[in-house]
Amino acid sequence: MLLLSQFLKQQETEDKLVDLIGTLMLACKEVAIQLREGELAGVLGSTDNTNVQGETQKKMDVIANDLLKKFLLDNALVAGIASEEEDHPVGGNPNGKYLVIFDPLDGSSNIDINVSVGTIFSVLEIEEGMDPTKDEAYLQCGRKQVAAGYVLYGQSSILSLSTGHGVNFFTLAHTGDFILTRQQVTIPKETNEFAINMSNHRFWEDEMRNYIGDLLQGEEGARGKNFNMRWIASMVAEVHRVLTRGGIFAYPWDSRDSSKPGKLRLMYEGNPMSMLIEQAGGVSSTCYKNILDLEPKHIHQRCSVALGSSKEVETLLTYHSESSDGRAAKLNT
Ligand SMILES: O=P(O)(O)OC[C@H]1O[C@](O)(COP(=O)(O)O)[C@@H](O)[C@@H]1O
Ligand SMILES: [Mg+2]
Ligand SMILES: [Mg+2]
């Protein structure tokens, strides 16, 4: 039985990063406790507030955000934080080493129906001379992440973590420890399972419609095999399924709001999930460009996402390679 901290030390992770990940997990354990109590703790339902994205905040969005913020800002290693639920970054210790960007509760439309949600986090090192209270400090390309992960609050609470040396899963035990339960996760290259919100079909680009159309044709179509579909409406749960048994997950560009290159957010959804997917041997792309190579322009920037089993994502990309003038391509560069 290997505890998270013991495993990280075995991997020769820098002590400061072990400390930071420990702090993140203290906060996530508190989130898990609140979620487990649910209605009994009065944490279900919505607030009267909207966040910077214009979305109504669930009570748990706010509770999870406050917990992560409090625990992280109490750690002297943290120079600053940025969150889906904060309009602007919040500065921590001016001499801190790390910037932590997070989606405190992902899939929050699932909270009130007792379906899986999660916390997603991305860790960067602050660059020389940067002000951690300003967006610019955080606008580093995804390749610069020193750690990324999520905690899935499902039947059990599972941490999926990468510090750049593969992906490992840790399960939260009743003792309060995260224990290594799956080492060096590898995504199968091929799959017959896809996840996409089909209700947006009419808003997609032709390329995406053509690809999904071929999947739906099954063994009678160009792909010559049947596909199965899943949609949990919680990116953490979808990515966990992809890491566990393969698959392709996509939230592509759509024309509902032409100023936005997708629904998901680059800095606290696209980037950390892409690091996990690549570290597990999968591929993650906007359909035009590798997500980890995007140069971020805003903290709350959106991006189109297609990730998962390498051969399947590469097949999807072939549907897009001919298109050089799509609006999605322009918005995602
Ligand atoms: O409502 P839809 O279109 O099914 O979108 C679901 C997607 O939105 C998200 O819930 C967005 O995350 P938040 O809950 O953090 O806003 C993703 O987790 C999920 O993949
Ligand atoms: Mg989210
Ligand atoms: Mg969220």
Residue 251 beta carbon below 6 angstroms from any ligand 1 atom = yes
pLDDT tens for residues 39-54? 999 989 999 888 888 8
Residue 284 CA to ligand 1 centre (angstroms):
17
pLDDT tens for residues 198-251? 999 999 999 999 999 999 999 999 999 999 999 999 999 999 999 999 999 999
Residue 306 CA to ligand 3 centre (angstroms):
19
What are the Cα distances from residue 27, in Å, to 178, 188, 258?
13, 32, 37
Kindly give the pairing relationship between strand 283-285 and strand 305-308.
antiparallel
pLDDT tens for residues 12-29? 999 999 999 999 999 999
* Contact present, 21 and 15 (Cβ < 8 Å): no
Nearest ligand, measured from the Cα of 239: 1
Residue 254 beta carbon below 6 angstroms from any ligand 1 atom = no
Global pTM reads: 0.96
pLDDT tens for residues 289-318? 999 999 999 999 999 999 999 999 999 999
* Contact present, 120 and 235 (Cβ < 8 Å): yes
Which two structure tokens, joined as six digits, stand for 61? 């969005």
The residue that leads in pLDDT, 331 or 270, is: 270
Confidence of residue 86 (pLDDT cuts 50, 70, 90): very high
| Backbone phi and psi for residue 287, each to the nearest 5 degrees, phi listed first | 95, -15
For residue 228, the Cα-to-chain-centroid distance in whole angstroms is 23
How far is residue 92's CA from residue 72's CA, in Å, rounded to a whole number? 8
Domains observed in the chain: 4-182 (3.30.540.10), 193-331 (3.40.190.80)
pLDDT tens for residues 122-170? 999 999 999 999 999 999 999 999 999 999 999 999 999 999 999 999 9
Q: What is the average pLDDT value for the chain, to the nearest integer? A: 95
